[in-house]
Amino acid sequence: MKKSHVFSTVLMASVFSIHQVAVADGQRVETVGDASIVTYEKDYFEQYTAVTLLDMLQLVPGAKEILDRNRRQRGGGGGGGNTQERGFGSGGDQILINGKRLAGKSNNIDDTLGRISAEQVEKIELIRGAADGLDVQSQGLVINITMAEGAAQSTTFWQVAAKRYFGRATRPTFLVSHSGSTGNLDYSASVERKDGGFFFDREEEFFDGAGDKTADQFIDGNFRWQSWAFTSNLTYNFADGGVLRLNGLYEPSDRGGVDVRDKTSDTLRPEIWDNDGKGDEWEIGGDYTRSLGSIGDFKALFVINAEDETWQTNRSRGTGVDEFIYNDEASTEYAREKIGRASVTTPIFGNQSLEWGGEVAINTAGGSFLNLERDAAVDPFDTTSDDVVDIKENRYEVFANHTYNASSSLVIQTSLTTEFSKIIADNLSFGATQPQRNTSFTYLKPRANVRYDISDRDQLRFTAEKKVSQLDFENFVTSFNPRTETLEIGNTNIRPEQIWEFSTTYEHRLANDGGSIEIEAFYHDFKDHITKVDFSEYENFAGGPISADEFFALQGMPGFDALRDSINFESKSGNVDSGKAYGVKVRSSIRLGFLNLPQAVVGVSYTYEKKETTDQFTFITRPFDRHSEHTLDFNFRHDITDIGLSYGFEGKIESDRITYDLTWAWPGSPGLDLIAFAEYNVFDGAKLRVEFENIGGRPNRSTFIGYNDHRRFDDSWGRIERFTKNPTEVTVSLQGTF
């Protein structure tokens, strides 16, 4: 069955199920408060014997999606650009504690959730749409956790775990976190030993341009990482009502792995890639809030962090006396960030408020890349790339956010942010064509967000917003791409990506905490979209510079083949004028009370997103790199509270996608990503969990199509058929508090 048919069938079944739930729950009674807020008090979770705050959030219909989204954003993604917001940002779906964001990036909210004991939580609020008095502006969902006052003086959370990669290795981990209070001071500290890895098996078949098979290759790949993470959080409540919160993180790590590549056509085999790396990361963040009386409320946030990485890679061929290193690669990366933000929120005209302030960010980053190669053991190494780049970015923002509570059912938020930034990039490589880039930018970033409660359980939301992405400075420095086995040439002239986002969302909440159904239509307009761009320097027969179109118009003329051979065809990450995205998202989280399973929740999310830009090599319209038009996420959880048992599963299905560059095209079919778990409350305050990941191996099939010099010639040297599988992983953990 084609994937498109699978998406259609599942979506129709989901909509039918949603209709049935709505009918079944229509006769149930719900106590209604603020139509935009659903509150889960502490006693709601008592039947589930939750151990941590993260356990509590997993029990709230609709919360899982925001948790998964945060994890995906932390893990990064495909594509050419990085659309993360610059600095702290002020919009989007977020998780708050006591109405405030955690002032941190590396020491982020997701890690904190798993270290907070359930005993310390008073209630959890799901706030949909625009709302006054929050530390963020949201067009979707904000989760606000209210911590209990006068909680236990001290609590210790512990967790021991072991992850087994079937047929590979076993990795043990542990975490200990202690929190307490004395007088006006609340504190917590934790230490965690992380030990993980990534393994894969890949089968490849090589075909030449005529379609004849030339070789087989088997790749045994692994990657490992180990680190110690030390974190701390302090909160001090001043007598004048001010609150100061500080948090810190220090995490040194070791990373590495070995890939063994055995290709039948190689004279010397196997080929071994030996990677070894180290990392060091630290961060200090904080915020301070207090009332200024009639002036309003003051709040300030700051973050100072640093991250360093070093990598050494040796690639060799053969075994025994025939083995020799043919490639020696060394790279470094560093990043330093200092961010400060301050604002005052003042009530005006009774039902309105105005937040105004500023933000400053000083970023420094850079790295180096050295690549040496040789053809035989007796040959000296030749330098194929030697790239060193230092970057400094200064950014200043002034902003004003206005909230108008027009009525109990209508809230209108508008904001305007003006950004002034400057980027200086020094290319210290020998013979660099542009030794320094010194560029200044000014951006106006307006935003409008409207929430209208049609009824107690129906809501409309409208959003229009201009965003500017944070540059990924890794694109500034040359690197080796192990997926394509090619050098990615650095480019220090990349501009931030600008996106206008428009969305309309309708949400219906079912009665008696039965769940929710949400439909969103959206359109995104991109300017300065970041993708691969043709940087070839084209010449005519006389050696004069010409455009790409003028060069390809010379095909068929005498001497063109020699001219073609003289051109250095080259691509880099860069900016294109425009791109667009549009589509629809359908999300539902349903409690199965209509099946007499009130403690079971099923969630289904389907996204259709068309993302298009102009290919910079062939000038035809094509999808964004590594983008799947159709994505289906699903999850199920059933808590049997009578015996203290919970179980469930979650998964993701994505449609085919393709990636392009100057000399290759790479279509692929992502495999089903499936996870299952079971939890059992051994005794009060202790929980045993078993989780299976990569069930079925998450098989991935793709075809790498190579071209001799430029895809526009349509001159292919052949293709590689790839089939990749990952081992199933099982993690057994025991956690508790005392």
Question: Is residue 316 a contact partner of residue 324, using CB atoms and an 8 Å limit?
Answer: yes
Distance in angstroms (rounded) separating the CA atoms of residues 245 and 286: 5
* Exposure letters 544-583 (e unless 16+ CB within 10 A, then b): eebeeeebeeeeeeeeeeebbeeeebebbbbbbeebbbeb
Choose between 226 and 106: higher pLDDT: 226
101-127 burial code (b ≥16 CB/10 A, e <16)? bbbbbbbbbebbbbbbbbbbbebbbbb
pLDDT given at position 107: 61
Cβ–Cβ < 8 Å for 470, 86: yes
Among 294-298, 318-322, 434-438, 536-540, name the most confident range: 536-540
Confidence of residue 286 (pLDDT cuts 50, 70, 90): very high
Closest CA to 416 of 93, 137, 92: 137
Quote the CA–CA distance of 661 and 665 in Å, as a whole number. Answer: 6
In this prediction the pTM is: 0.86
What is the tens place of the pLDDT at every residue in 551-570?
999 999 999 999 999 999 99
- DSSP state at residue 444: E
Work out the number of other CB atoms within 10 angstroms of the CB of residue 1.
6
User: Closest Cα to residue 449, out of 33, 88, 91?
Assistant: 91
pLDDT tens digits, 696-733:
999 999 999 999 999 999 999 999 999 999 999 999 99
Beta strands 169-182 and 185-208, pairing class = antiparallel
Tens of pLDDT, residue by residue over 355-377, are 999 999 999 999 999 999 999 99
| Averaged pLDDT score across all residues of the chain | 87
Mean pLDDT of 333-344: 94
Phi, psi (deg, nearest 5) at residue 565: -65, -25
pLDDT one-digit tens code per residue, 230-276 = 999 898 989 888 999 999 999 999 999 999 999 999 999 999 999 99
17: phi then psi, degrees, rounded to nearest 5: -65, -40
Q: Residue 513 — pLDDT band, cuts 50, 70, 90?
A: confident
Q: What percent of the chain has pLDDT over 90?
A: 64
Element (H, E) at 336: strand 324-348
Lowest mean pLDDT among 611-615, 632-636, 640-644: 640-644
Round to whole Å and give the CA distance between 391 and 311. Answer: 20
Give the mean model confidence (pLDDT) for residues 423-448.
86
Q: What is the mean pLDDT of residues 504-516?
A: 88
The pLDDT value recorded for residue 567 is 94
Per-residue pLDDT tens for 33-63? 455 778 888 888 877 877 788 888 888 776 7
pLDDT bin (cut points 50, 70, 90) of residue 16 is very low
What tens digit of pLDDT does each residue of 168-211 get? 889 999 999 888 888 888 888 999 999 998 899 999 999 999 99
- Confidence class for position 351, pLDDT limits 50, 70, 90: confident
Phi first, then psi: what are they for 456, rounded to 5°?
-65, -20
Q: What is the mean pLDDT of residues 87-106?
A: 68
Q: Quick check: helix, strand or coil at residue 374?
A: coil
- Say yes or no to pLDDT of 79 above 60: no
pLDDT in tens, 140-163: 678 888 887 655 567 888 999 999
Q: What pLDDT sits at residue 1?
A: 47
The Cα 400–Cα 355 span in angstroms is 6
